[in-house]
Amino acid sequence: MFRTESFKADSFEPARFESKGKIILNAEEIRYHTVSEDNVFYGKDGKPVASIFTYSYFRNDVDASERPVLFGFNGGPGSASMYVHAGFLGPRRLKYGEPDRPSAFGPYEVIDNPDCLLDIADLVLIDPVGTGYGVLIDEEAGKDFLGIEQDAEALLALVERWARRYGRTMSPKYLVGESYGCTRAAVAAGIAATEGKDRAYGTAFDGLVLIGNTVTVGKYFAEGIPAESSVLGFPTYAGVHWFHHRPTDQTVKEFVMEAKKFADTEYVLALYKGEDLSDEEKEHIIDRVTYYTGVSREYLIRNGLKIDDNTFRSEVCMKEGRAVSRYDGRMTRPLLEPQVVEAASGVWDDATADRYDPYFYAALTGDLLPRLNVKLERNYINATNYYKTWNKEESMGTTAVQLRNAMTRRPGMRTFFANGWFDLCTEFGYVFHTVSHAGLPRERVFVKGYSSGHMIYIGEENVRELCLDIRGFILGKNPKF
């Protein structure tokens, strides 16, 4: 992790900043105050080893003792809370235009967030250790923070400490995680309902909001899924094809669900049969797959009727000379080397990141942080490469097992999966698979698809819909699929 500054245990001084603000929400003026601060972790010798940095928003004119608190964070692992903070949760956020921005550059516009949830809940945005303004002071202590269970326990310790500090142990508590943040939330809730490696925790979470699901029994951070990835990715491939080519007058939801039904029946059986397919059966499958996903007949024959999410990105809009984004299939870039470009370029070479990372960074550091009176000489690290060395071993089971532990041992706890139809990073099929196979209490699990990508809130209509659904979820309403 590259920083221009160094941190030494003997000289590290925790930072704390306060501010005041107001915002109009639902025709009501909401006055609030904020605290942005280091939350320091100490080693056995009493010296600081790491800090998680938080940005807390408190409404002023209400009795806060039993008021809900939302703890929000991004994923990575290695991502700061920049996206959820400046994207939809904070009282100030980006103003969105057309999702497929023509440029990465300004003018950038930041507005009062009319969809903010501060009228019904206090907000805490979290920069994990080594991200944003969070710091790893003692590199040797990295083993205690940079892993699935270690990261989740650090979050639990933070929540407990924060709740005691601000008199909120009686408050309903919700975790709002995006991408790997879904894994973090599920594992933290599971450990809280059982126990950690060295201790038990007393915190219970009323609900989880999981955006861009990584709570799976596979794909990234757990055991392998006993299902064909072409089938699990099929709903998303259909959604991206629908967005760019409109093969039908159906809505995206109708088209995607029809495609899923085909994938769950005829397609998965065809892939199982393989070379035992008759010529007639094979041609039928090719016809249906090209109809639903937009890939060519030649592509399917070359790949044994299977679809790879990387090569799909360069295949689906090849006739237009474009490749689609992994994070948001609505966004494209020139396809300079057909068959090679996105597939070989890796995670970080992506049209969505290219267009939006500078925008989010500018909004956060140029507008939100100054309004919070945050004045630090530290570099703001929006993302690190921690995922390369992340400890993925889970002695207490997969992330889906942890979520089941939480929901079965905390009766009444609810989970809301929110996923974009056009998200090629964490495809919707993995949500369906998790819900169907993880043994979750189905009456308390809710799933909804959005006409968006990995970051559901990109777009004025998208951010409004997501915030309305989270608002209803906190108020006890169940999101409708």
Query: For a pLDDT cut of 90, what percent of the chain falls above it?
Result: 71
Determine the average pLDDT of the residues in 356-375. 95
Give tens-digit pLDDT for 418-433: 999 999 999 999 999 8
Dist CA 436 CA 232 (whole Å):
12
Q: Which CATH superfamily is domain 16-224+354-474 in?
A: Alpha/Beta hydrolase fold, catalytic domain (3.40.50.1820)
Backbone angles phi, psi at 285, to 5 degrees: -65, -45
Least confident of 216-220, 378-382, 476-480: 216-220
pLDDT at 394: 55
Which of the four pLDDT bands, split at 50, 70 and 90, describes residue 98?
confident
Which of the four pLDDT bands, split at 50, 70 and 90, describes residue 104?
confident
Domains in the chain: boundaries:
16-224+354-474, 229-349
pLDDT at 38: 97
pLDDT reading at 393 higher than 70: no
Beta bridge partners of 447: 417
Which of the four pLDDT bands, split at 50, 70 and 90, describes residue 399?
confident
Q: SS3 sequence, the chain?
A: CCCCCCCCCCCCCCCEEEEEEEEEECCEEEEEEEEEEEEEEECCCCCEEEEEEEEEEEECCCCCCCCCEEEEECCCCCECCHHHHHHHHCCEEECCCCCCCCCCCCCCCEEECCCCCCCCCEEEEEECCCCECCEECCHHHHHHCCEHHHHHHHHHHHHHHHHHHCCCCCCCEEEEEECHHHHHHHHHHHHHHCCCCCCCCCCCCCEEEEECCCCCCCCCCCCCCCCCHHHHCHHHHHHHHHHHHCCCCCCHHHHHHHHHHHHHHHHHHHHHHHHHCCHHHHHHHHHHHHHHHCCCHHHHHHCCCCCCHHHHHHHCCHHHCEEECCCCCCCEEECCCCCCHHHHHCCCCCHHHHHHHHHHHHHHHHHHHHHCCCCCCCCCECECCHHHCCECCCCCCCHHHHHHHHHHHCCCCEEEEEEECCCCCCCHHHHHHHHHHCCCCHHHEEEEEECCCCCCCCCHHHHHHHHHHHHHHHCCCCCCC
**For the ranges 42-46, 211-215, 256-260, the one whose mean pLDDT is highest:** 256-260
pLDDT at 397: 55
Of 63 and 7, more confident: 63
pLDDT at 6: 67
292, 275 contact by CB (below 8 A): no
pLDDT at 401: 87
**Mean of the per-residue pLDDT values of the chain:** 90
Give tens-digit pLDDT for 183-238: 999 999 999 998 777 788 889 999 999 999 888 744 445 455 556 889 999 999 99
Backbone angles phi, psi at 449, to 5 degrees: -100, 145
Which of the four pLDDT bands, split at 50, 70 and 90, describes residue 342?
very low
pLDDT reading at 116 higher than 90: yes
pLDDT reading at 323 higher than 70: yes
